[in-house]
Amino acid sequence: MNRDWALHEIRALAQLLVGLWLIFSCSSPESAQEGSETHFLRSCQATCAEGMQCLCGVCTLSCNEPADCANWAGVASCAPLGPRVAEQRCAASELSAICDAACLSDADCSKLAKSRICDYGYCRELHQQAGPIATSCMPATFAPAEVLILGDVLIELSIFAPQLEKAAGLSAGQHYRNKAAGGSSLLATGPQSIDSEYTSALPDGPARLIIMDGGATDVLSGQCAGMLTPDCPAARAAVNGAEALFARFAQDGVEHVVYFFYGDPVGNPTLRDGLDLMRTLLRNACGRSPVPCHWLDLRPAFMDHPEYIAAQPASQGLVFSDAGATVAAAATFGFMQKQCVVN
């Protein structure tokens, strides 16, 4: 009797273990039962499941037209990789297009797997970091007149432009074209916009390289206190204006945009809150720009250096001192070299 009871218990235990194995094997994230939505844009190094390809570091498919991305209708579009190759975010061998999910905020990635976030304008896995790809490149040569500086008072009221020219090794009498002005520094479109600065520069010839900042004036416009949500009208207008400007640059044949963004304001928490929001939105707008847009965050260079900010009240805790302008210019030019924009 005891022997029969023991055999019965062993069989029951075996059945339980088989059942548990089936449950966990079927619910595994790597299971072949999963749909392509789970695998789409998963980070990869070589191979991918579900018949997808490992392109630009993610599992997806190459494409020539929107219909090629029908597997992810309403989520993905056929996105060219050329700008991201120029930004060293994809290998030079991937000068094609892939099915990708563009975004401005993490909420735009909500239709994908829960681990996806918005990273430099495209939905990616949470642990995947956008960064330069090790690749050889040939920097372009730009005549000074082909380089255009756009932006706000950080440039207009500081020695940033001459320090940038010095870092670039320009000869005496050579200058970049500089249209940055506080009175025309809104990203939002209109007569006081950076777009108007760009328009004013065109009679002097086309620009191949644009160096710019922008966003602080939109925050300071007073439409939203602190601009704490992407739904603030000023935030929406700024992002829409930036994207329209990038599209205009691409149409006009601009080859590169170098966008440097502010260090943390000193003694101005409201402005800091607004810039924290704009930093994410504008970085993502830059990341999905049709013209190669290289994003530089000045916070690391300015951290723990309040002396880099001008002391006068009109600076809003943001305008460069001479020391700050020198550091910002050096950081910008060094970044341009790292990104293979210039020698």
User: Cα–Cα distance between 72 and 68 in angstroms, integer?
Assistant: 9
What whole-number percentage of the chain has pLDDT above 70? 86
Note whether 125 and 42 are within 8 A (CB).
yes
Q: What span, in angstroms and rounded, lies between the C-alpha atoms of 221 and 201?
A: 25
What is the structure's pLDDT at 135? 61
pLDDT over threshold 70, residue 27: no
Over the stretch 60-111, which tens digit does the pLDDT of each residue have?
A: 999 999 999 998 988 999 999 999 999 999 988 877 999 999 999 999 999 8
pLDDT tens-place string over residues 216-255: 999 998 777 667 788 888 999 999 999 999 999 999 999 9
Q: With pLDDT > 90 as the criterion, what percentage of the chain qualifies?
A: 69
| Contact predicate 126/115, CB 8 Å | yes
The two tokens of residue 128 are 């995947």
Positive or negative torsion for Cα 315, 318, 324, 330: negative
Helix spans in 168-232 (H): 194-201, 216-219
pLDDT of residue 230: 83
Question: Does pLDDT of 128 surpass 80?
Answer: no
Question: Token pair for residue 106?
Answer: 């993490």
3-class secondary structure, 110: coil
CA distances from 281 to 9, 96, 229, 237 (A): 61, 26, 10, 11
State pLDDT tens for residues 174-200.
999 999 999 999 999 999 999 999 999
DSSP three-state, residue 230:
coil
Domains and CATH numbers, the chain: 36-125 (no CATH), 144-338 (3.40.50.1110)
Residue type, 57: G
Q: Span 291-318, mean pLDDT? A: 94
CA distances to 26, 77, 112, 283, 321 from 311, rounded to whole Å, are: 63, 48, 47, 28, 8
Distance in angstroms (rounded) separating the CA atoms of residues 317 and 314? 8
Does residue 259 register a pLDDT over 50?
A: yes
Q: What pTM does this model have?
A: 0.87
